[in-house]
Amino acid sequence: MHLTTALLSFVGLLTTAFAAYNPSSSSNIAVYWGQNSYGQSTGSFVQQRLSYYCANSQLTVIPLAFLITISNPTLNFANAGNNCTAISGSSLFYCSQLEADITTCQKTYGKTILLSIGGATYSEGGFSSSSAAVTAANNIWAIFGPTTSGSTVPRPFGTAVIDGFDFDFESTVSNMPSFANQLRTLMNSAGGKTYYLSAAPQCPYPDAADGPMLGGAVSFDFIWVQFYNNYCGLNSFTVGSSTQNNFNFATWDNWAKTTSLNKNVKVFLGIPANTGAAGSGYESGSTLASIIAYSKSFSSFGGVMMWDMSQLWANSGFLSAVASDLGAPAATTVATTLQTVTKTSTSAAATGTAVPQWGQCGGEGYTGSTVCAAPYTCVYGGVWWSSCQ
Ligand SMILES: *[C@@H]1O[C@H](CO)[C@@H](O)[C@H](O)[C@H]1NC(C)=O
């Protein structure tokens, strides 16, 4: 009897510990896998097979990077590609490990697995016409979507089926909205599970490459903005200020609510996972905690995206720090000086005091409860003031 109870609660723990993408959570963590960007060819920091990372409970979304050409589809997964075998009559390879691992990641570890299209080397420039884009989307769906009996298309992931697509273009592409919308149509009519579309614009607004898709033509579930390698990145964040000059999460939040076709789209804070993962924009410690707390104050905030998995695994403690920053109450980690406030308000919360609508729930010097009465959440209103709304 006791044993049964113990086992049941253990199972319960497992199911809550691993989570797929959750549109109503602001703590999703997405990390790109596939490019071995840390660059080791041997040793403990070389990119490992996908399932190795899926066993980590803090990750929720893993985009596989990249499908580097679309019209005559080609994949590149750096060293993971060495474990795959060429499929004759195509430019694709078949990866038995990915067929097994995608399924394990989804079924055992509850991960959302996307295929990311593009990357810095993508050079096809999109499609010559809208109808060429639709034809290409149908082909990509046949290759990576659910299997259809009698189909003879090459299937790099065998019977495994990804959970959607991510667009990461860094140069101008033509007719991409037609391609994305056709994928959306195919995903919507497939049923069986929820499929997602995401995009990875760079932070200067509007994004040059993904702009036509983001300008209201395509319905995205979430996007992750690359807040690195640009003047609007993490390195421009002013700690302790409720208004930001160059760091522009506010601009993207406004995009979500005004320009985006899907007004419920979530915006992730895209960050480098290690010092060398980007040319500029790597932040850690209390500065990163402040940036995450600030970004979390926007209602479109969906979590953090990191580039990339190999960099992250070589940066000991970084993933747990990000997860902890995401889990912290929005109002209490805004400035680095608020660590003591966090402690005090945690004990206030422990007394069970719930703050009513419009009541104060955070701000520098505030020592009261940070817990809002249902259904309100604590919304950042400046360094000195957060309230339940
Ligand atoms: C390649 O296969 C080996 C042997 O199964 C495995 O240990 C390794 O993790 C794989 N590498 C990648 C990057 O998938």
| Best residue for ligand 1 mutational test, from 32, 33, 42, 48 (most atoms within 8 Å of Cβ) | 48
| Spacing, Cα 48 to ligand 1 middle (Å) | 6
User: Which atom number of ligand 1 is nearest to the Cα of residue 82?
Assistant: 1
pLDDT bin (cut points 50, 70, 90) of residue 329 is: very low
Is residue 206 reached through a cis peptide bond, with omega within 30 degrees of 0 on the bond before it? yes
Q: What is the mean pLDDT of residues 60-83?
A: 98
Q: Is 81 in the pocket of ligand 1 (CB under 6 A)?
A: no
The residues, any chain, with a CB within 8 Å of residue 201's CB and separated by 6 or more, are 207, 209, 210, 211, 214, 223, 225, 226
Q: What is the mean pLDDT of residues 19-40?
A: 96
> What's the predicted TM-score (pTM) here?
0.82
Residue 376 pLDDT:
74
| Spacing, Cα 81 to ligand 1 middle (Å) | 9
| Best residue for ligand 1 mutational test, from 44, 46, 83, 104 (most atoms within 8 Å of Cβ) | 83
Compute the C-alpha angle 236/239/245, nearest 5°.
Answer: 45
Residue 318 pLDDT:
97
The residues, any chain, with a CB within 8 Å of residue 258's CB and separated by 6 or more, are none
Q: Are 57 and 111 in contact (CB under 8 A)?
A: no
Q: Is 79 in the pocket of ligand 1 (CB under 6 A)?
A: yes
pLDDT bin (cut points 50, 70, 90) of residue 8 is: very low
Using the Cα atoms of residue 69, residue 309, residue 21 and residue 235 in order, give the sign of their dihedral. negative
Average pLDDT, the chain: 88
pLDDT above 90 coverage of the chain, percent: 78
Q: Is the pLDDT of residue 11 over 50?
A: no
Q: Is the pLDDT of residue 330 over 90?
A: no
Q: Is the pLDDT of residue 16 over 60?
A: no
| Residue whose CA lies nearest to ligand 1 atom number 13 | 80
Show which residues are catalytic.
170
Amino acid at 194: T
Q: Is the pLDDT of residue 356 over 50?
A: yes
User: Which atom number of ligand 1 is nearest to the Cα of residue 79?
Assistant: 13
Amino acid at 293: A
Bridge-based pairing of strands 61-69 and 196-199 is: unpaired
Rounded CA separation 262/196 (Å)? 12
| Spacing, Cα 80 to ligand 1 middle (Å) | 7
| Spacing, Cα 117 to ligand 1 middle (Å) | 23
Residue 6 pLDDT:
45
pLDDT bin (cut points 50, 70, 90) of residue 120 is: very high
Q: What is the mean pLDDT of residues 154-173?
A: 97
User: Which atom number of ligand 1 is nearest to the Cα of residue 50?
Assistant: 14
Residue 304 pLDDT:
98
| Short-list 240, 228, 320, CA closest to 268 | 228
Q: Is 290 in the pocket of ligand 1 (CB under 6 A)?
A: no
Residue 344 pLDDT:
29
Q: Are 169 and 210 in contact (CB under 8 A)?
A: yes
Each residue's pLDDT tens digit, 195-215: 999 999 999 999 999 999 999
Q: Is the pLDDT of residue 339 over 90?
A: no
pLDDT bin (cut points 50, 70, 90) of residue 375 is: confident
User: Which atom number of ligand 1 is nearest to the Cα of residue 98?
Assistant: 14
- What CATH fold (topology level) applies to the domain 19-334? TIM Barrel (3.20.20)
| Spacing, Cα 206 to ligand 1 middle (Å) | 39
Residue 374 pLDDT:
76
Residue given tokens 């990641």 in the structure block = 105
Q: Is the pLDDT of residue 337 over 80?
A: no
Q: Enumerate the domain spans of the chain.
A: 19-334
